[in-house]
Amino acid sequence: MENSITDLKFRHIRYIKSNGNFAKVPKKFYNYRDLIQYLEKKRYKDAYYSISKWLNPQNISAKSKEREYRTIFLGMDLFFDIDFSEYEFNKNIELAKNETLKILEYGKKEKWNLKYIAFSGSKGFHIAYGDLIKNYPAHPQKREEYAKKFYTNIVEKVSEKINIDKAITKDTRRIVRIPGTYNSKTGYMCTIIEPSDLEKSTDMFLKTIPYDKNRGPSPLIKRMMTELRIGADNLGKLWLPLSCNHSSKYIQTISSTVSRVNKHVLILDYSTYFNLYQVKKYLNEMKIPYVVLENEDSIQIFSPMAFEKQEMEKILKITKSRNYNAMKKYKHVLLKISGLNKDFKPLEASIKDIHIPDEKIKRPLSSAHYELFKSITGKKEFEGCEKISSELIFRMMEIN
């Protein structure tokens, strides 16, 4: 782990505090062990370093001309993040392993200098190579812009053959998880691995990864690691996982992910005091069918209509939905059902409004989300609409 991050003194370091807020490390570190000791004293939840190198890394923030000469971009690693979130935990890791092997083969052919491979501690892997740029422009601002363009071209070539997170590799201001620190989503450590480890079964592989249950999800909310995938024909056959304590409180949620295709159904989230007038007007103009559900702490708008990820993010941003940042970060959002009866109708969420356009619905609908929508609203079939996919991703959170 100690030699994984080269030129540590030029790296920007951030961590998440116990209260969930980000904090900058206000000084340079020259030694990996000293950095880890510092983070442990701060009781970090998650810790990150910049893939770029900076003359004054402690001054890094969002790019601005005023700070241009205080930071001074020096160069950046070639960094790939590969993960999947569409399936259950082990299946996501299995898919990510396959793509990671492809990256390693690609890098070997291109003769890139491999620095490390790491299990992220959650759904995938990180692959770090040395900087491919040999001659940078002299001016700091031009240097950073040059790096962006250079690595954007790399991303476009690689992504034609391999499933990678394109945004991370070309972002000069990106921070990534520090190897040797724990992932608070799971309790697993972000761990340096060998290529041969990717050949192991996922169960065997996970046994080699350091795990600390106290570093995992908050004791107040214990996220169930299992996900149930429910077919459209089985909506009336939902039951709690055996691993869940039936006497405890729990929140049941449905993911926006439309399985097997890169699309999402619309889930908007607001406080109970938010005025929905402009939101409804916007959705009505787009001829989107939706239902408004009010829980004890939020109002959610749900539609079975399927959107591309970028279009989904655009709608969330325009409508000022609270889950916009969650969509950007986790690549999906959740609909809180919070207790369901045998007919899959919400027990603790009240219906405030239902809107069905008079015109024929032209966009495709997720068939399983559509069945859920009909169960909630009591509405019959929409005519002439295309249906895609056939599963819901169901997630449960147990509250102690």
Report the C-alpha gap between 38 and 283 in whole angstroms: 49
In a domain, 213, yes or no: no
The reply to whether 171 and 71 lie within a common domain is yes
Looking at the structure, do residues 175 and 243 belong to the same domain, yes or no?
no
What was the pLDDT predicted at 156?
94
CA-to-CA distance for 138 and 164, rounded, in angstroms?
Answer: 31
* Stated length of the chain: 400
Q: Which of 182, 207, 232 is the last residue of a domain?
A: 207
Contacts of residue 227, Cβ cutoff 8 Å, sequence gap at least 6: 87, 88, 89, 393, 394, 395
Q: Note whether residue 3 is domain-resident.
A: no
Q: Which of 144, 138, 135, 140 is nearest to 171 (CA)?
A: 144
Residues 119-125, mean pLDDT to the nearest whole number: 93
- Kindly state the tokens that stand for 375: 């169960």
- The reply to whether 231 and 338 lie within a common domain is yes
In this structure, are 190 and 239 located in the same domain? no
Please say if the pLDDT value at position 193 is more than 50. yes
In a domain, 393, yes or no: yes
Q: Indicate whether 179 and 30 sit together in one domain.
A: yes
Residues 132 and 271 in one domain: no
Give the pLDDT band of residue 216 (cuts 50, 70, 90). Answer: confident
Choose one of 180, 207, 234: the last residue of a domain: 207
pTM: 0.61
Q: Are residues 225 and 310 in the same domain?
A: yes
Same domain, 56 and 117: yes
What CATH number did the domain enclosing 81 receive? Answer: 3.90.920.10
pLDDT band at 217 (very low <50, low <70, confident <90, very high): low
98 with 63, same domain: the answer is yes
Q: Is residue 2 included in any domain, yes or no?
A: no
Residue 1, domain member (yes or no): no
If asked whether residues 174 and 281 sit together in one domain, one would say no
Q: Identify the domain containing residue 244 by its residue range.
A: 218-399
Taking only the tens place, the pLDDT of each residue in 269-287 is: 999 889 999 999 999 999 9
Q: What is the pLDDT of residue 184?
A: 87
pLDDT of residue 336: 81
Same structural domain, 367 and 243: yes
Establish if 348 belongs to a structural domain: yes
- Inside any domain, residue 122: yes
* Residue 149, helix vs strand vs coil: helix
pLDDT tens per residue across span 158-169 = 999 999 988 899
Q: What total number of domains does the chain contain?
A: 2
Show which of 147, 175, 207 is a domain's final residue. 207
167 and 290 share a domain? Answer: no
In a domain, 212, yes or no: no
The pair of three-digit structure tokens given for residue 327, joined into one six-digit string: 């969509």
